[in-house]
């Protein structure tokens, strides 16, 4: 009897082993396709704090953005602008200031709400992006955005950057230089600012520089009344 049991065990062992060998290539392929990196997590929320008092009379952030993302830098209505310098002036006191304006990477982005195809989406780490494989170019998101942050690509493009694919018939906007952020770098505009007026970091980490600063200095969201909880905050408005 025990002999029979032993044989049965042996048979089960070998058959399980054979099954494992048969399945292994498929599993291996799946694991490799996933890669080593973990998906982005909602434990992180990327944001920026822009110090308007320090914002000098230059456009280095705009130039750096154009260079990093392969934008033409043209100012015609059909040219893409991911970041622009906006000048504000209080007509009564004549106090004026300039600030860089781009996608505010809202927690509750209206562009995502209106997108009919799911192309406009918010990544788990708070970066609002367009999946251009899904975008049909309807431009609802451009109309929904209160910050006029998005652009439509009207003309065929050539020689795009390998890390920043862009194409005709799709909507695009500031990606917070997602290709750099994923590599552990900060966005091109933040790096280019000569006065370090753009502070980039993780709003959710209590000990990050940006989190400490927004705890201590007064900062505002633009159109905070809309309740979008923007990831970009301005200081000294």
Partner 1 sequence: MNLLCDKSDGATSHSTWSPKNGNQVAGYAVLRARSLLAYLQGMSRSSFRRALHLDLLMTVPVRVTIFLFALLCLSNIASATESYGMPKLDIGKGGQCVAPTEWMRKNHMKVLFKQRDETVHQGIRDGKYSLKNCVECHASLRDNSVIGRPDSFCEGCHRYEAVKIDCFECHSSKRSTALVQEESK
Least spacing, CB of residue 32 vs partner 1, in Å = 6
Binding segment for partner 1 (CB under 8 A), chosen from 76-84, 123-131, 137-145, 185-193, is 123-131
Should residue 229 be labelled a site residue for partner 1 when binding is judged by CB under 8 A? no
Residue (51 or 125) nearer to partner 1, CB: 125
Should residue 196 be labelled a site residue for partner 1 when binding is judged by CB under 8 A? no
Binding segment for partner 1 (CB under 8 A), chosen from 86-94, 105-113, 158-166, 217-225, is 158-166
Spell out the residues 6+ positions from residue 135 whose beta carbon is closer than 8 angstroms to its own. Answer: 117, 119, 120, 169, 170, 171
Contact (CB, 8 A) for 101 and 86: yes
Site for partner 1 in 124-143 (CB under 8 A): 124-125, 129, 131-133
Collapsed DSSP state (helix, strand, coil) of residue 11: helix
Residue (170 or 219) nearer to partner 1, CB: 170
- Could you count the other beta carbons within 10 Å of the beta carbon of residue 82? 22
Site for partner 1 in 33-52 (CB under 8 A): 33-40
Should residue 216 be labelled a site residue for partner 1 when binding is judged by CB under 8 A? no
Least spacing, CB of residue 124 vs partner 1, in Å = 8
Which of these, 149, 153, 150, 183, lies nearest to 165 by C-alpha position? 153
Contact (CB, 8 A) for 115 and 143: no
Should residue 71 be labelled a site residue for partner 1 when binding is judged by CB under 8 A? no
Which of these, 66, 37, 62, 59, lies nearest to 161 by C-alpha position? 66
> What is the rounded CA–CA span in Å between residue 56 and residue 118?
38
Binding residues for partner 1, per CB under 8 A?
29, 32-40, 121, 123-125, 129, 131-133, 156-157, 159-163, 165-168, 170, 178-179, 182-183
């Amino acid at each position: 009897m025990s002999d029979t049991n032993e044989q049965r065990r042996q048979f089960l062992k070998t058959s399980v082993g054979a099954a494992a060998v048969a399945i292994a290539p498929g599993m291996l392929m799946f694991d490799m396709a996933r890669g080593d990196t973990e998906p982005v997590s909602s434990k992180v929320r990327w944001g920026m704090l822009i110090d308007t008092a320090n914002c000098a009379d230059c456009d280095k952030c705009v130039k750096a953005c154009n260079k990093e993302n392969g934008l033409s830098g043209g100012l015609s209505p059909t040219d893409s602008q991911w970041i622009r310098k906006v000048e504000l002036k209080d007509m009564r006191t004549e106090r004026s200031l300039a600030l860089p304006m781009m996608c505010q990477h809202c927690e509750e982005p209206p562009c995502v709400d209106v997108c009919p195809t799911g192309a406009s989406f918010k990544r788990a780490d708070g970066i609002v992006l367009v999946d251009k494989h899904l975008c049909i170019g309807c431009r609802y998101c451009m109309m929904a955005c209160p910050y006029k942050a998005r652009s439509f690509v009207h003309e065929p493009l050539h020689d795009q950057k390998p890390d920043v694919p862009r194409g005709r018939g799709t909507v695009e906007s500031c990606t917070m230089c997602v290709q750099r952020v994923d590599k552990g770098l900060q966005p091109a505009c933040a790096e280019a600012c000569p006065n370090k007026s753009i502070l980039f970091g993780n709003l959710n980490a209590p000990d990050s520089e940006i989190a400490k600063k927004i705890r201590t200095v007064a900062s505002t969201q633009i159109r905070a009344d809309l309740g979008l909880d923007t990831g970009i905050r301005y200081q000294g408005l």
